[in-house]
């Protein structure tokens, strides 16, 4: 079984990734080494990847089957089964971590690594790129800078979205007044969901972070600093089975009108 993990520029996590030369139409020769993959990419060739796919929170997306080139990939690294259970689905590069924690650049984190501030399992070198996790950054650097000004979204809101999706899916089985009642409730739920994402978008435009947290222990799940990150998150709601494609398209259009 492959132990190769790929993080794309859209922050999708591909693991375990079966990697082939895009010219290998019969999928005969799996590329098993990181060096072999980089060799192809730096020669301007594409790789074909078949893999499970996850978002930043570790939620399953649809199976990934497609071609990638160097510009599509943030980093590639080997990951053990033990490490795959240690939040490496929420990894980020040092430059990303520095931006999210309000540090000048990744060099501050590199110095912390050199001084042994991180545990070995909290960091990993992927080619020329170093990666770490949200929990590791919190342990070493504390809360995200200016967190009191951030817009916080707790995981119970994500469960609320999921229930909204299930309500959408039940309409085909309802009739009459009960259907009308459910449609009204569903629309009210959508307006609340839209309101939360609209506030998140406004926060980003005010140069504030949007932070997703676990309500139980206040741990950071994800941090968004740009509109692009927020829109990517919304675009993938149907793949996470959290919203119907029709509602997601409506939400994207409504947010673009803000």
Q: Are 55 and 32 part of one and the same domain?
A: yes
Q: Are 93 and 68 part of one and the same domain?
A: no
Q: Are 179 and 210 part of one and the same domain?
A: yes
Q: Are 174 and 252 part of one and the same domain?
A: yes
Q: Are 179 and 118 part of one and the same domain?
A: no
Domain span at residue 126? 88-141
Q: Are 152 and 230 part of one and the same domain?
A: yes
Q: Are 56 and 153 part of one and the same domain?
A: no
Q: Are 152 and 251 part of one and the same domain?
A: yes
pTM given for the model: 0.62
Q: Are 137 and 41 part of one and the same domain?
A: no
DSSP bridge partners of 50: 18, 65
In angstroms, how far is the first alpha carbon of the chain from the final one? Answer: 46
- DSSP-derived letter for residue 63 is P
Q: Tens-digit pLDDT profile for the chain (258 aa)?
A: 568 888 888 778 888 889 999 888 778 888 988 888 988 998 889 999 998 888 766 677 788 889 999 888 888 887 765 455 445 456 788 888 888 888 877 788 989 999 999 988 788 777 677 888 888 888 899 877 767 788 999 989 988 888 877 666 656 565 667 667 777 888 888 999 999 999 999 999 998 989 988 888 888 888 888 898 899 889 888 877 788 888 899 999 999 998
Neighbour tally for 100: CB within 10 Å: 20
Q: Are 151 and 72 part of one and the same domain?
A: no
Q: Provide DSSP, 138-193.
A: HHHH-SPTTGGGSEEEEHHHHHHHHHHHHHHHTGGG--HHHHHHHHHHHHHHHHHH
Where is the domain boundary, 124, 141, 158?
141
């Amino acid at each position: 079984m492959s132990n190769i993990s790929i993080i794309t520029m859209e922050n999708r996590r591909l693991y375990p990734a079966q990697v082939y030369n895009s010219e290998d139409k019969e999928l005969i020769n799996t590329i098993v080494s990181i060096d072999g993959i980089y060799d192809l990419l730096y020669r301007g060739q594409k790789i074909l990847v078949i893999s499970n796919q996850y978002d930043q929170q570790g939620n399953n997306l649809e199976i990934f089957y497609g071609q990638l080139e160097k510009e599509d990939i943030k980093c590639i690294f080997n990951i053990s089964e033990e490490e795959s259970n240690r939040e490496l689905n929420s990894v980020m590069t040092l430059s990303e971590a520095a931006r999210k924690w309000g540090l000048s650049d990744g060099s501050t984190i590199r110095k912390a690594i050199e001084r042994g501030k991180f545990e070995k399992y909290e960091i990993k070198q992927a080619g020329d790129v170093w990666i770490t996790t949200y929990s590791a950054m919190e342990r070493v650097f504390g809360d995200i800078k200016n967190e009191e000004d951030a817009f916080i979204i707790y995981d119970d809101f994500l469960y609320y979205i999921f229930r909204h999706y299930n309500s959408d899916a039940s309409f085909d089985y309802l009739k009459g007044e009960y259907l009308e009642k459910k449609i009204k409730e569903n629309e009210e739920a959508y307006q609340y969901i839209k309101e939360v994402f609209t506030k998140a978008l406004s926060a980003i435009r005010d140069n504030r972070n949007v932070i997703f947290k676990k309500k139980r222990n206040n741990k950071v799940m994800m941090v968004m600093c740009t509109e692009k990150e927020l829109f990517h998150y919304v675009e993938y709601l149907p793949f996470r089975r959290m919203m119907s494609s029709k509602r997601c398209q409506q939400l994207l259009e409504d947010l673009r009108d803000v």
